[in-house]
Amino acid sequence: MTATEFEKVTIDLGDRGYDILIGSGLLADPASYSGLPLGTDALIVTNPVVGALYGRALRTALGSNYRRVHYAELPDGEAFKDWPALNSIFDALMTAGCDRKTTLFALGGGVVGDMAGFAAACYMRGVPYVQVPTTLLAQVDSSVGGKTAINHPLGKNMIGAFYQPVRVVADLGVLATLPEREVAAGLAEVIKYGPIADAAFLDWIENSLPALKARNTAALAHAVRRSCEIKASVVAQDERESGLRAILNFGHTFGHAIEAGLGYGEWLHGEAVGCGMVMAAELSMRMGLIDTGCVARLKAIIERAGLPVRAPALGADRYVELMRHDKKSEGGEIRFVVIESMGHAAVRAAPDALVREVLLACSD
């Protein structure tokens, strides 16, 4: 069998650097996993939905590289991105007698990826892990860059670690089985890269939305590759978010408040980010940075992607309380990613009154 064709994006982080392989048919191809750190054991971490679809194929592909391939299923959903689910990964590792050369394989979307990565960071103080992202959102964002975490009831992704994978294997073929709502959620994070870093990419997305929604392979390949290139460049400059990396959180301050306020899993992460980007654009406009045409254009793209653009009615006080827990907050002051011009973002504190105006204008 000849090796599957793929494109490669490299994350340039010295001895923590790694490749993202992008192509169709990669998941089941043993060649996708060649050259990884050697060990006897592998543990596939997945959930029942993804496991039923792709667990066997990954297990078979890994069979030639590892003497023992173990398997752990976490409950499916954002509501289970928590301590008990994380602990079940440690239970699986301990029960199987896995040593510190064990490699974890995160097979799933961002929930599985964030938790498997966090478990890899902790088990025996760190074992290697490979991201095998199976949602569009995970392929363009969460599998790349080494942010791992679980949620706390008071705030999203509040407990975690920066810990880079040793490879990302993004198989475009698996996106065929993704529910339509999840494709739209992934498009939110694709759209994000335009306003923060690449105005020409936003033009391309605007024109390519029908092809992306129809899952045209060439369109998906370009979206995943360009998104990964932008993320790779940002992460290489600021791995641990001491500055620049925060721009990747455009829309997330409002979005995380929606997710936590409604209860995790009610709105998908991508849906909350989509609506959050409309709110952050509105804030940028009210701060005098961009004009109303810019906000209207972004809102139309997000709506055409199939994402909500009106925020749920949580009440301004509750929104503000939730946003104070955001990781960008400093000394109780909430800081937002704002757009200075299309393709350029910055992190700024905003006057409370302006934030409340945005909440009033954008929520039901």
Give the number of residues in contact with ligand GLY, rule: CB under 6 A. Answer: 6
Q: How far apart are CA 151 and CA 82, in angstroms?
A: 6
Q: Which is nearer to ligand NAD, 182 or 198 (CB)?
A: 182
Q: How far apart are CA 292 and CA 286, in angstroms?
A: 9
Residue 252 bears catalytic tag = yes
- Active-site residue among 59, 70, 81, 147? 147
Identified binder of ligand GLY from the candidate list 51, 145, 194, 255, rule CB under 6 A: 145
Q: How far is the CB of 102 from ligand NAD (least distance, A)?
A: 21
User: Which residue in this structure is represented by tokens 């400093």?
Assistant: 330
Q: How far is the CB of 92 from ligand NAD (least distance, A)?
A: 18
> Residue 290 phi/psi, 5° resolution?
-130, 165
Q: Which is nearer to ligand GLY, 141 or 282 (CB)?
A: 141
Binding mask 306-345 for ligand GLY (x = CB under 6 A): ----------------------------------------
CA 52 to chain centre: 22
DSSP 15-45: GG-EEEEEETT-TT-GGGGTTSPP-SEEEEE
List, in sequence order, every residue forming a beta bridge with 337; answer none if it has no partner. Answer: 347
Identified binder of ligand NAD from the candidate list 138, 184, 196, 277, rule CB under 6 A: 138
Residue 125 bears catalytic tag = yes
Q: Is 53 in the site for ligand NAD (CB under 6 A)?
A: yes
Residue 213 bears catalytic tag = no
DSSP 149-210: EEEETTEEEEEEEE---SEEEEEGGGGGGS-HHHHHHHHHHHHHHHHHH-HHHHHHHHHHHH
Reference 144, options 286, 13, 309, 41; nearest CA is 13
Q: Which is nearer to ligand NAD, 141 or 282 (CB)?
A: 141
- Active-site residue among 156, 192, 222, 245? 245
Residue 245 bears catalytic tag = yes
Residue 189 bears catalytic tag = yes
Q: Is 178 in the site for ligand NAD (CB under 6 A)?
A: yes
- Active-site residue among 182, 189, 229, 282? 189
Interacting partner of 245 out of ligand GLY, ligand NAD, none (Cβ under 5 to 8 A depending on kind): ligand GLY
Residue 256 bears catalytic tag = yes
- Active-site residue among 226, 269, 286, 299? 269
Q: Which residue type sits at 360?
A: L
Q: How far is the CB of 273 from ligand NAD (least distance, A)?
A: 8
Pairing assessment for the beta strands 167-171 and 129-133 based on DSSP bridges: parallel
- Active-site residue among 226, 252, 299, 327? 252
Q: Is 147 in the site for ligand NAD (CB under 6 A)?
A: yes
Identified binder of ligand GLY from the candidate list 114, 141, 182, 326, rule CB under 6 A: 141
User: Which residue in this structure is represented by tokens 């490669």?
Assistant: 8
Segment 223 to 262, residues that bind ligand GLY, using CB under 6 A:
245, 248-249
Interacting partner of 249 out of ligand NAD, ligand GLY, none (Cβ under 5 to 8 A depending on kind): ligand GLY
Handedness of CA 138, 221, 27, 102 (dihedral sign): negative
Q: Which is nearer to ligand NAD, 104 or 174 (CB)?
A: 174
Question: Helix 252-262 vs helix 269-286: angle between axes, to the nearest 10 degrees?
Answer: 130
Q: Please list, in sequence order, all residues whose beta carbon lies within 8 angstroms of the beta carbon of residue 309, skipping any fewer than 6 positions away.
A: 274, 275, 278, 299, 302, 303
Q: How far apart are CA 73 and CA 182, in angstroms?
A: 20
Task: Name the residues that contact ligand NAD, by CB under 6 A.
Answer: 47, 49-50, 53, 76-78, 81, 108-112, 114, 134-135, 137-138, 141-142, 145, 147, 157, 174, 177-178, 182, 185, 269-270
> Active-site residues: which are they?
125, 147, 189, 231, 241, 245, 249, 252, 256, 269
> What is the binding site for ligand GLY (CB under 6 A)?
141, 145, 147, 245, 248-249
